């Protein structure tokens, strides 16, 4: 039996869903706002939102669907879930880091992780990192891990030097 299922992450915001979706679609190539829905007057006693205000924004980041929901202040983001950006070059890492960190939490910057101005956690890492760490017992993987643990933003050259045991 063939089943066509789509899994779409839904990001809960207080009131910033539209701003966040616009921001994220400006950061990633091949991204777009798909649709915006608004709260109706029906159910206002439950949702407590002004009729006509933004309820959800459906958007795509490089083809990956997301939904941003203005659900109110009841829930906030934390590091228990993050969005991963695998990069091929240091230039890509630097560009995403530069776009996503302004207004975010500098204390959340560790080992390639950052928290943006909306509180969403991102992992900006080189695609090659998975390969470097795959054999957890190898001296190279141990050196790569140690080097990564000392970084905020991942530095590919620094990882390569660590793997080669050159300082």
- 61-92: string of b/e by CB count within 10 Å (b at 16+)? beeeebbbbbbeeeeebeeeebbebebeeeeb
Of the pLDDT bands very low, low, confident and very high (cuts 50, 70, 90), residue 4 is: confident
Dump pLDDT digits (tens) for 109-155. Answer: 999 999 999 999 999 999 999 888 888 899 999 999 999 999 999 99
Sorted by sequence, the CB contacts under 8 Å of residue 82 that are 6+ apart come out as 113, 120, 121, 122, 123
Does 1 score more than 80 pLDDT? no
Report for 67-71, 140-144, 162-166: range of highest mean pLDDT: 67-71
Averaged pLDDT score across all residues of the chain: 94
pTM value?
0.90
Domains in the chain: ranges and CATH: 7-76 (3.10.180.10), 78-167 (3.10.180.10)
User: Residue with structure tokens 């009729």?
Assistant: 51
């Amino acid at each position: 039996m063939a089943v066509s299922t789509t899994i779409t992450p839904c990001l809960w915001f207080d009131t910033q869903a539209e701003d966040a979706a616009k921001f994220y679609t400006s950061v990633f190539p091949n991204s777009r706002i798909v649709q915006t829905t608004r709260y109706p007057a029906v159910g206002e006693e439950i949702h407590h939102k002004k009729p006509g205000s933004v309820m959800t924004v459906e958007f795509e980041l490089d083809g990956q669907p997301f939904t941003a929901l203005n659900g109110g202040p009841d829930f906030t983001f934390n590091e228990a879930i993050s969005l991963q950006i695998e990069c091929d070059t240091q230039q890509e890492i630097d560009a995403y880091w530069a776009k996503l960190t302004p207004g975010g939490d500098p204390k959340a910057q560790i080992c390639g992780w950052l928290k943006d101005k909306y509180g969403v956690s991102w992992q900006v890492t080189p695609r090659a990192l998975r390969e470097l760490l795959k054999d957890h017992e190898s001296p190279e993987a141990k050196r790569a891990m140690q080097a990564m643990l000392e970084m905020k933003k991942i530095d590919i050259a620094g990882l390569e030097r660590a793997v080669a045991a050159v300082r």
